[in-house]
Chains A and B, each alone.
Chain A
């Protein structure tokens, strides 16, 4: 079946580093997305990985291992405004190219 797993909640301290993991099982794979969503707002795009490896974008990096069905989002130098939900999503090419979202990880940043 199709499954995207990520931790429900995480807590980290301002200025620290946090890694949010995502594992997936889908019938096909054509890319993995990470989105940030503040409460009551629309998701905003953070990253898209289709090849194995690490992609860095400022304070945020995303890693993908297709053989392991695994990705992580790394957030450095955490700021209070990083308190949000982080959504992992997979484009499943084997299922009419549909996009499957995980339930999201709520990240709380403590001062």
Chain B
């Protein structure tokens, strides 16, 4: 158990819908990262927050957005969902933003 929690574990929704994925980092970690993993693309870095502020941005689509709240939990919002958004979405946290990252169990999103 990494100490990072993600909800929900599974999510099935239809194209065009909007969903919110939630992540709680390990106690004391200030950095939160979001990743997307699909079979053909491997693990893709989406975005990183550090203590509530955006720190680094990867290949995150404009339809996707994220934020980190004062209690350090983070949410990833995915809108206008397409079939190709079906993937595993991982959240990870780290203590200083440059050290090892601890991954949550992931949310499996299926868009039908």
Contacts and interface: CB of A to CB of B under 8 A. Distances in A.
Contacts of B99: 48
Q: How large is the interface on A (under 10, 10 to 19, 20 to 34, 35 or more residues)?
A: 20 to 34
B106 interface: yes
Interface residues of B, number: 21
Contacts of A89: 43
Give the dominant DSSP class at B's interface: strand
Nearest to A42: B103
Given A43-B103, A48-B99, A96 B43 contact: no
Contacts of A43: 43, 90, 103
Contacts of B106: 42
Contacts of B102: 45
Nearest to A102: B42
A107 to B, nearest CB: 15
A57 B63 CA distance: 41
B33 A45 contact: no
A96 B33 contact: no
Given A42-B2, A42-B90, A42-B106, A101 B101 contact: no
B57 A100 contact: no
A87 interface: yes
A41 B105 CA distance: 7
A30 B2 CA distance: 24
A42 B105 contact: yes
Given A42-B103, A42-B105, A42-B106, A97 B45 contact: no
Nearest to B47: A98
Given A30-B98, A48-B100, A100 B45 contact: yes
Given A45-B102, A100-B58, 8 more contacts: A30-B98, A42-B90, A42-B106, A48-B100, A87-B43, A97-B56, A99-B45, A102-B42
Interface of B: 2, 33, 42-45, 48, 55-58, 90, 98-106
